[in-house]
Amino acid sequence: MSGGRALASQGVRAVPSLMYLERQPNFSIGPDDAENETAAAPLPSGAPAIAVKSAQNTAQSAQNLVPQGGLFWDGRVNTLQGQALEPLLNPLEMDGGSVERVARRLRSAPYAARFTQLFGPQIFDRADNAVAEALFAVARYQIEDPSFHPYSSKYDAWLEGKARFSPAEARGYVLFRDPGGANCAACHLDRPDANGLPPLLTDHQFEALGVPRNMALASNRNPRSFDLGICGPVRTDMKHATPYCGMFLTPTLRNVATRHAYFHNGVYHTLRQVLDFYDFRSTRPQRIYSHGAIDDLPAAYRANLDTADAPFDRTPAQGPPLTASQERDIIAFLQTLTDGYRPGR
C-alpha cells in the first residue's frame, strides 16, 4: 500500500498488525525469561513436547541478555498512543506535517463538537493536548474493543477442548512444536501464559533471522542501505548497540493466514514462501538468497544471526527439516489461528 501526500510513496516495512497488542510488554533488554514461560499452564492431554530455544552462540548470549517488547518491528515505542502518532506524521504514510497541523484537522473534523464535549471547551487551545487526547482515545479503543483481541480462533476452541483438529492440522501442530525440527513454538509461544491467559504466539523477543533483502523496496536500491531493526535507521536511540543490529521483534502468528506481506520487509507473500525460508535458510541457502548467501545483513553483524535455534542450527549435510507435505501441514495448523471460528465448520 502507498501513502504520502500523493498516495504514491512506498513505506520501508510491512505494516504490523494492530491486533493482540493489549499485553505487549515495554521494550527492555534483560535476562531471557523463557524458563518462567515453561512454568505456564499445561496443554490439553496428548499435546506434543515443548519446543526449545537455545540462543547459545549469538553475540549477546554471553550475558544472555535479550531485547524484548515494544511496538513496531524495532520496539521503538512502548505505548499505543506513541504508536498511533507515527503514521499520522510519517511523510511516507499519512504525512500529517506537524502536531499543530493534525490538531487543526481535528478541530475541523465532523466530530469536533463531540471531542470538545468529551475533553472540555479548552481542548483545542493547545495543539499537543488535543492530539494527545485523540491518541489516548484511539489507544483506549484498541484496548477496550474486543475486535482487537477476540481470541476466537479454532486453536482457542481447541485449547478449551471445544474443537478437534483435522488430521493435517494435528500433524502440523506436532511439527510446529517439534524441538529438533521446525521448532516454531520456541519463539511463537503456543501455551496459555502463567496467568492462564491464551497464548499470543510470540515470546515478544527479538531475533536476527537473516530474512532475504526485498528488492521491490525503493529504499533497497541503494546497496549500502540496510534496515538493521533495533540499530536503525528507523529507530534512532540504539544506533551503536551492535550486538542487536539486524534484530526484529517476533510477531504474533494470530491471524497470520490473513496477511499478505510477511516479515519486516514484506519480502514474502505466501505462507509457503515463509515455510521454505525456515526449511532452507541454513540447509539450502541458494534456494533463499539470489546470490546464495545472507544478503541483507552487513558482514560486521553476521555474528548476530540466529544459528543456534532449530531449524537454523542445521547444516546443508543434515538437510532440510521439513518435506513439502510437512510444510503444508504446518500451514494447515497456522490456519487454525484465524479468528472467527465457528464449531462445526
Binding site for ligand HEC (CB under 6 A): 14, 182-184, 186-188, 207, 209, 211, 248, 250-251, 253, 256, 259, 262-264, 274, 278, 306, 309, 330
- Taking the CB of residue 279, how many other CB atoms lie within 10 A of it? 25
Residue 94 CB, nearest approach to ligand HEC (Å): 22
Q: Which is nearer to ligand HEC, 278 or 280 (CB)?
A: 278
Q: Which is nearer to ligand HEC, 115 or 277 (CB)?
A: 277
Q: Is 191:156 a contact under the CB 8 Å cutoff? A: no
Q: Which is nearer to ligand HEC, 198 or 251 (CB)?
A: 251
Residue 330 CB, nearest approach to ligand HEC (Å): 5
Residue 7 CB, nearest approach to ligand HEC (Å): 23
- The alpha-carbon radius of gyration of the chain (Å, integer) is 21
Cis-peptide, bond into residue 16, ω within 30° of zero: no
Q: Which is nearer to ligand HEC, 106 or 261 (CB)?
A: 261
Distance between CA atoms of 334 and 319, rounded to whole angstroms?
Answer: 24
Residue 66 CB, nearest approach to ligand HEC (Å): 11
Q: Which is nearer to ligand HEC, 83 or 96 (CB)?
A: 83
Query: What is the distance of C-alpha 124 from the center of its chain?
Result: 36
Residue 326's closest CA among 273, 265, 275, 258? 275
Measure Cα distances from 240 to 30, 158, 237, 264 in Å.
17, 45, 8, 21
Residue 90 CB, nearest approach to ligand HEC (Å): 19
Distance between CA atoms of 110 and 219, rounded to whole angstroms?
Answer: 37
